[in-house]
A and B are shown apart, each in its own frame.
Chain A
Amino acid sequence: MDQISLKNKLSVGIDIGSTTAKVVLLNENNETLFSKYERHFSQVKEKVLEILEEMKDLLDGKTFTLAISGSAGLGFAETLNLPFVQEVYASGEVVKKFWPDASAVIELGGEDAKIIFLKGGLDERMNGSCAGGTGAFIDQMATLLNVSNDEMDKLSLEYKKIYPIASRCGVFAKTDIQPLLNQGARKEDIAASIYQAVVNQTIAGLAQGRKIDGKVMFLGGPLFYCKGLRDRFKQTLKLSDENAVCPDNARFAVAIGAAIYALKTKTTVEYNKLVNDIKDTSLIKQQNSLEPLFKNEEEYNAFVTRHQKASVPLEDAESYSGNVYLGIDCGSTTTKLVLITEKAGILYSYYDSNKGNPVEIVKQQLLNIYNCFGDRIKICGSAVTGYGEELIKSAFNIDKGIVETIAHYTAAKYFKPDVDFILDIGGQDIKCFKIKNGAIDGIMLNEACSSGCGSFIETFAKSMGYEIKDFALKGLFADSPVNLGSRCTVFMNSSVKQSQKDGASVEDISAGLSASIVKNAVYKVIRAGSADELGNNIVVQGGTFLNDAVLRAFEKELGKNVIRPSIAGLMGAYGAALQAMQVKKSNIISKQELLSFTHTSKLTVCSGCTNHCHLTINTFSDGKKYISGNQCEKGLGLKKPVEEIPNLHEYKRKKLYALESGNKGIGKKKIGLPMALGMYELAPLWHGIFESLGFEVILSGPSSRKLYEKGQFSIPSDTACYPAKIMHGHIVDLIEKGADIIFYPCLTYNIDEKASENHYNCPVVAYYSELLSGNMEELKNVRFLYPYLNINSEKELSKELFENLKDVCGAEYINIKKAVKAGFKKYYSHMSDIRKEGEKALVYAREKGRRIMILAGRPYHVDPEIGHGIDKLAVSLGFVVVSEDSVCHLTDRQPVKVLNQWTYHSRLYRAARYAAEHSDTQLVQLVSFGCGVDAITTDEVREILERGNKFYTQIKIDEITNLGAVKIRLRSLLGALEERGEA
């Protein structure tokens, strides 16, 4: 030791990431003398001091070099004026030094993912701002599965199958995993699927088409600790054992890099001075803070007393005997259960995480009830609501299934008969209902992307080392809560990181998070401009509002007091119980049956159609089955329905895929049309033109998840919409089908339907070919034609095609002119067929007295993969489904407050007008995640509908959409319509 210090060549590297701190001490031979890896729970300063203290024996009184790295180390280094090195750069340098033959590095950290390409042009990349597939994401998922990280890793090694899980971001993934859990999928499979999602996101988001091969280094904590994750990478990248290297010091790569960098800087520090300097720093508090939630204890006490008033009488469980009613709310993360008396007093209640197995929990609870109360009570009615409604209903013979919205309204009415606004923030959802004249007048639900809800704050608390209760308590008296913004919870993670950098305390962060959740609900979900829009009698509920900090933040944001029932977390179950009182005779499972009750779940793939839904078949002891995961009724093993309800989405799909080539055969050049984006509108036009010119026209697809995956690795911008990203798969598909030429023109202007001020395409539809051409290696082997064309003049189009096809087929101008004419004829007749079919569907609906749903979006939303079969779901709920372009001709141009200058959107506005004008017609808007233009259209469509006294329902769709949530949305719509007594 002494020898080393004499040479004075000690160097310390400190890597402070978003969740962990890593410290190493190197000697002059770059040998590690000390290393430490620990979570810092946002207490950066304390943690560093603690580790330095441990190093006292090695360093006391000595002078050494030191450098800091890592995203949370940035501010730390600045304040202390110590050398800083960027972490990716640092690990790149380390790998070059110690593993010169490595060709790539994959490093996952708490919140960042990085790839470094070392061979064939150095390239160091980090994930963009919307990407949660990292350590923090894995932590969150483990919490969701209710296992530790180690257990999750072990589970993953036992997987049998991989489920597709959205890899766009953590919030999305959660919405995919939750229903899998609820459906009883195996945890082993889910664990492996989560890792696979991380792998897909890393490769798709960072490699972006650049091939990862040769010797690959796996660095960073998550990859070091999770063997299952490394296995997924190995398998996906097809790496041999020798080429997948995770060194022993993988966790310390950045810290080692920092120590080596420190040597170069030659700035030295003395141990005791360093320790004292760190002790003396008080990270300057940022200015950007909010008012404290409570000024003093007194204010808090008044608040508590006020809220205690809204409570339900509790019945004495020991002595009560008589009739009771059972309500169950099987939510996404928690299961709630209440038993009430005939006077609506609560006899028994239960609220807990469903631990991934709600069936088991309900079984235990029912047994518990039977055992506790014995013959003293008689269950006269039972009702269930929530995500797991159908599963629980069929498992235990529950009498009634109730849509969540109705359950909540029923409960809220009990506390405040004249309630005019209900806000429910649960584990996974935010739900808001406006009440007018005793009926639900408007429903707003959060989108998959903005679930700034309870489970977020809970996982966050855990990641900082607190239980949610204590964490919330800490926030109550924070003196300067941090302002964390309101966009999305993944962004909030990095906002927290920023505030840590600025020295915010746990108290301030806790209070800040509460305020963020409230802001997200008010401005993003409700989209309120002022508190007055919410009405005067507001009831708040949902487990999240049991958190006093959130409740107070909400009252402060609104500037008015609200009612929070004491049973805020049980409102769904309580409402269900109240509804159960209407049941005449209960058939609920008896104690004997319950004792012998068993439940097994099996997974299978439905082969009813090309969707290949993953089905979970739950079998109960009495032989009853409950199948979930199906997008349509086919998977349920039912016979073909007697009635064929019109579905324009299905009609359009069939019609497009019926475009067969008449030029099949020898010698004809094959031209491929990728069936994505604008091709869904214009395929008949191009098909007509190229057929007439003697090409064999082939279409790609139909779309599927598999097809998407074929092209996903060349996507350069992961925040683009799914309809655009799936284009890459379609190109690959066409090449596989043997296309000689691929055609997707650049169209600034779409067809002018004379119903808007201009007739643009959106930038993505218009120019995606430019991106494809620049990013898809596959296109280098075929002819990719993407000329800029004017499709509003036959003459111009003929001229332009003549120029562009000169060296492709050498067709004469006159023939091209003829072909263009033929193409337009085909296009117009195609569109006219759609309109006629739309009219027919409307007539059908009115004759049969069925509800009409305009499932409105863009032409490409009929794609089976992009629309996820939502049309079929709507049909199964009894709606006649029409598309926006099949009915928009039936009404006049709709004046709007924004620029009406895109062809597709102008159809949307007209379709909304049609719905507003017809009492039997509802409109549901499909919006692709990442669609910038829809940020403008959605508010307009909502306004048009609301002026016509109609509900506005929006469904955000992306790579994966959880049909369970969509179903609740559509059923809420139905429930609200019925409540209002509308046809």
Chain B
Amino acid sequence: MEFVEFTKEMAKDYTILVPTMLPMHFKLIIKVLSHYGYKMELLETTGKQVVDTGLKYVHNDTCYPAILVIGQLINAIQSGKYDVNKIALMLSQTGGGCRASNYLSLLRKALKKAGLSHIPVVAFGVAGLEKHSGFNLNVTKLYKMMHAVFYGDLLMSLVNQVKPYEKETGTARKIADKWTERLSEELIHKYISYKKVKRNYREMIAEFAAVPMNKTDKVKVGVVGEIFVKYSPLGNNNLEEFLYDEGAEVVVPGLLDFLMYCVYNPINDSKAYGINKIKAFACKIGYKFLLSRQRDIITLLNEDGHFMPPTPFSTTASLTKGYIGLGTKMGEGWLLTAEMLELAHEGVKNIICTQPFGCLPNHICGKGMMKPIKEKNENINIVAIDYDAGATQVNQENRIKLMLANAK
């Protein structure tokens, strides 16, 4: 297929459309990139037309996230809102042996089918292998985006822990929005002072801790699964809102875990198979850096004492022992099992494992691990929910309700 480059010329005035996965994180990341002169737009369209467009241009047996993401992009292009000769698309792309590594190819095929193959697509992610003269990721940009992830994770976790208990509805959300604004202004500064970052963490935590709350007893429900349907409200039919309305406190592991999983795997590969030693070396440096940054957040949360901190990634990984090998690295791989175990470890006994219908890795790491997890962890209450263009909300909600009825 012809590769359409995103050139320097295009970078000047093209609008880059980006599908949403995690609203708070993505807003911050986009802000960072816009500062470098890119005109970015985060797509937040929902509804049947997104799915229908996806089904029209993507093989219907492909995983649901591909159908949604591609559907959202093409639907936006066809909406008439943009000049089709002045737009580019951005797509996050992981690599590896899962079929999800084909999203970029599938998007290009879909564009061709829709007669839009002139539109350049920039893949964004760990396996970004293509060269675009108009778009590059240097260390500074990556460093800033990393902070968008740190901030995003912390905000998400704080909102989740405050929102179900706040006396005045909407307080937590308001604080989070305010911080998103403020942080996006700060992240575009030339340098990021880590001291300042830590100060922000502290202030953020304190502000959330000060929200007047009714500390009633609520059921804690953990959400794990395939990354897109786990996070994206479009993918999981607003799962978080639903659980919140049902009176539960939602616990969602952060995006940082997934990034650390991605840098951890090459290290493990090198150890296990004696391959890619150079890549493993670089990853080791990245891994140590991320681990130390995560530790700082944990320390600050512990100092404050109001909130449940994330579990150190190294601990999360070690929990898989006796369940699954760390070589299982396609899709969410062993991390999915690890996150269920981590939740159980933290006392979150009710877990929803989300996946697109027919998700290959989740046969093994999700559904395949439920029996051993239930055997070795008492009172654990896990339900697997499939998401799909044809699966209905009423069936999903009915199963979640059963899980909630049995919640401990």
CA distance A932 to B65 in the complex (A): 13
Identify which of residues 335-391 in chain B touch chain A, using a CB-to-CB cut-off of 8 Å: 357-365, 367-372, 374, 384, 386, 388-391
A738 to chain B, nearest CB (A): 26
Residues of A within 8 A of B102 (CB): 898-899, 936
Partner of B274, one of A85, A796, A898: A796
Q: Are B99 and A932 in contact (CB under 8 A)?
A: yes
Is A414 located at the chain interface by the 8 A CB criterion? no
* Residue from the list B48, B97, B362 in contact with A761, Cβ < 8 A: B97
Are the CB atoms of A497 and B394 closer together than 8 Å? yes
A41 within 8 A of B: no
B361: A residues at CB distance < 8 A = 763, 767
Q: Which residues of A contact B52 (CB under 8 A)?
A: 483
A495 to B105, CA, bound (A): 31
Contact bitstring B47-66, A, C-beta under 8 A = 1, else 0:
11001100111011111000
Q: Nearest B residue to A746 by beta-carbon distance?
A: B327
Give Cα distance in the complex from A770 to B362, angstroms.
12
- The stretch that binds A, out of B107-115, B203-211, B215-223, is B107-115
CB under 8 Å from chain A, chain B span 91-148: 96-99, 101-102, 105-106, 108-109, 113-114
Interface residues of B in 389-408 (CB under 8 A from A): 389-395, 397-399, 401-402, 404-406
CB <8 Å contact, B108 and A748: no
Are A129 and B97 in contact, CB atoms less than 8 angstroms apart? no
Whether A763 contacts B97 by the Cβ 8 Å rule is: yes
Interface membership of A494, Cβ < 8 A: yes
Q: Which of B56, B96, B392 has the most CB of A within 10 A?
A: B392
Q: Does A488 make an interface contact (CB < 8 A)?
A: yes
Cβ of A939 under 8 Å from chain B: yes
Complex CA–CA separation, A676 to B375 (angstroms): 27
- The digit string for A121-135, where 1 denotes a CB below 8 A from any CB of B, is 111101011100000
- Within residues 481 to 503 of chain A, which ones have a CB less than 8 A from any CB in chain B? 483, 485-488, 491-492, 494-495, 497-498, 501
Known contacts A523-B55, A898-B105, A936-B102; is A498 also within 8 Å of B392 by CB? yes
Contact A774 B113 (CB under 8 A): no
Q: Does A717 contact B (CB under 8 A)?
A: yes
Residues of A within 8 A of B60 (CB): 486-487, 523-524, 935
**Chain A residue at smallest Cβ distance from B273:** A790
Is the pair A129, B401 in contact by a Cβ cutoff of 8 Å? no
Does A716 contact B392, Cβ atoms closer than 8 Å? no
Known: A89-B406, A122-B406, A716-B371. A498 touches B394 (CB 8 A): yes
> What chain A residues lie within 8 Å of B258 (beta carbons)?
none
Query: How far is B364's CA from A238's CA once the two chains are assembled, in angstroms?
Result: 31
A760 at the interface (CB under 8 A from B): yes
Report the minimal beta-carbon distance from A747 to chain B, rounded to whole angstroms. Answer: 9
Partner of A487, one of B360, B363, B388, B394: B388
Q: Which of B98, B108, B357, B368 touches A129 (beta carbons < 8 Å)?
A: B357
User: Residue A766 at the B interface, CB < 8 A?
Assistant: yes
Count class of interface residues, chain B:
35 or more
Contacts of A939 in B (CB 8 A): 59, 109
Closest partner residue, chain B, to A724 (CB atom): B363
Are B360 and A932 in contact (CB-based, < 8 A)? yes
Tell me if A86 is interfacial: C-beta within 8 Å of chain B: yes
Contact B59 A935 (CB under 8 A): yes
CA distance A679 to B325 in the complex (A): 20
CA distance A768 to B105 in the complex (A): 27
Contact of B371 with A288 in the complex, beta carbons under 8 Å: no
A529, A764, A930: which contacts B114 (Cβ < 8 A)? A529
B328 within 8 A of A: yes
Pick the residue among A87, A121, A128, A748 that contacts B97 (CB under 8 A): A748
- A907-941 vs B, CB cutoff 8 Å, 1 = contact: the mask equals 00000000000000000000000101111101100
- Residue in B closest to A130 when the chains form the complex, CB atoms: B357
**Chain A residue contacts of B363, Cβ below 8 A:** 716-717, 719-720, 724, 763-764, 771
B402 touches A126 (CB 8 A): yes
Which residues in A have their C-beta under 8 angstroms from that of B113? 529
Do residues A936 and B99 form an inter-chain contact, with CB atoms below 8 A?
yes
A788 an interface residue at 8 Å Cβ cutoff?
yes
Say whether, besides A485-B390, A488-B390, A71 and B328 are in contact (CB < 8 Å): no
B50 shortest CB reach to chain A, Å: 12
Query: Is B256 on the interface with A (CB-CB < 8 A)?
Result: no
Inside 8 A of B390's CB, which chain A residues have their CB?
A: 485-488, 491-492, 495
27 examples of A-B residue contacts, CB within 8 angstroms? A71-B398, A86-B401, A88-B405, A122-B406, A130-B386, A529-B57, A716-B371, A717-B367, A720-B363, A762-B97, A767-B361, A767-B364, A770-B324, A770-B365, A771-B368, A771-B369, A774-B323, A788-B272, A788-B327, A789-B273, A795-B274, A897-B108, A897-B109, A932-B61, A935-B99, A936-B59, A939-B59
A sample of 15 more A-B contacts (CB under 8 A), given A719-B357, A898-B105, A932-B358, is A74-B397, A86-B405, A88-B405, A89-B405, A128-B384, A130-B386, A529-B114, A763-B364, A764-B364, A770-B325, A788-B273, A789-B273, A790-B274, A932-B99, A933-B360
Chain A interface residues (CB < 8 Å from chain B): 71, 74-75, 85-89, 112, 121-124, 126, 128-130, 208-209, 288, 483, 485-488, 491-492, 494-495, 497-498, 501, 519, 523-524, 527, 529, 716-717, 719-720, 724, 746, 748-749, 758, 760-764, 766-768, 770-771, 774-775, 788-790, 793, 795-796, 799-800, 897-899, 901-902, 930, 932-936, 938-939
B residues neighboring A (CB under 8 Å): 1, 47-48, 51-52, 55-57, 59-63, 96-99, 101-102, 105-106, 108-109, 113-114, 269, 272-275, 323-325, 327-331, 357-365, 367-372, 374, 384, 386, 388-395, 397-399, 401-402, 404-406
